[in-house]
Amino acid sequence: MATTSNPRWYAAYTKPRNEKKVLERLRETGIEAYLPLQKRLKQWSDRKKFVEEPIFRSYIFVRIELKDYFNVLNTTGIVRFITFEGKAVPIPDKQIDQVKLLLEQKDVEVDVSEEPIMPGTMIEITSGVMIGLTGELVEHQGKQKVVVRLNHISHSLLVSLPAGYIAKAI
């Protein structure tokens, strides 16, 4: 945990299927929290319905200062912070901003992968509101996708973009 008083993003692990409840509890106590959600079509035996589901199951992101560390840990539903060598690992603001930007897009399909993805061709996004962002072009499940890595929680976002939105990075 950093010793500065600047708020930083951290990933916290939640109890399974408690992400939305934890988000509500954190916000009630005044802690800035972010839970990336995506609408998915779910099918039951009697109906179909669009449901908002967390992109990263059992993870929530909090933007806190050092003094709020234990307030977050004491929140019902929080299991622990994601740590490296016993210390909570800050996540760069840029990575959280990229996730937010990706999820705002209507013409973008986002998948999450916990499996390591080998480096590929570096690309730059040339159209849309994500213009200027860079990533890697990979093939995943037979489709070409752009990878946005969140190394701190060992996940990657796989984004399908229209071919006209990308160009090989220089």
Q: Where are the domains of the chain?
A: 8-91, 94-168
| pLDDT for 11 beyond 70 | yes
d(CA 74, CA 59): 16
Q: What is the mean pLDDT of residues 153-168?
A: 73
CB of 41 closer than 8 Å to CB of 48: yes
Q: Give the tens place of pLDDT for each residue, 30-87.
A: 999 999 998 888 888 999 998 889 988 999 999 999 899 999 999 999 999 998 888 8
- The secondary element (H helix, E strand) that includes residue 32 is strand 32-34
The 3-state DSSP composition of the chain as helix, strand, coil percent (nearest 5) reads 20, 45, 35
pLDDT at 54: 92
CA 159 to each of CA 40, 83, 95, 119: distance values in angstroms, whole numbers, following the listed order? 15, 27, 14, 15
pTM of the model: 0.71
Of 62 and 100, more confident: 62
Domain 8-91 grouped into CATH 3.30.70.940? yes
| pLDDT for 108 beyond 80 | no
Instruction: For residue 122, give every residue at least 6 positions away whose Cβ sits within 8 Å of its Cβ, in sequence order, or none.
Output: 134, 135, 136, 137, 168, 169
d(CA 140, CA 102): 18
**Identity of the highest mean pLDDT range in 3-7, 39-43, 90-94, 104-108:** 90-94
d(CA 113, CA 158): 7
Instruction: For residue 153, give every residue at least 6 positions away whose Cβ sits within 8 Å of its Cβ, in sequence order, or none.
Output: 11, 56, 59, 82, 91
Mean pLDDT of the chain: 83
pLDDT at 66: 87
CB of 22 closer than 8 Å to CB of 77: yes
Of 46 and 166, more confident: 46
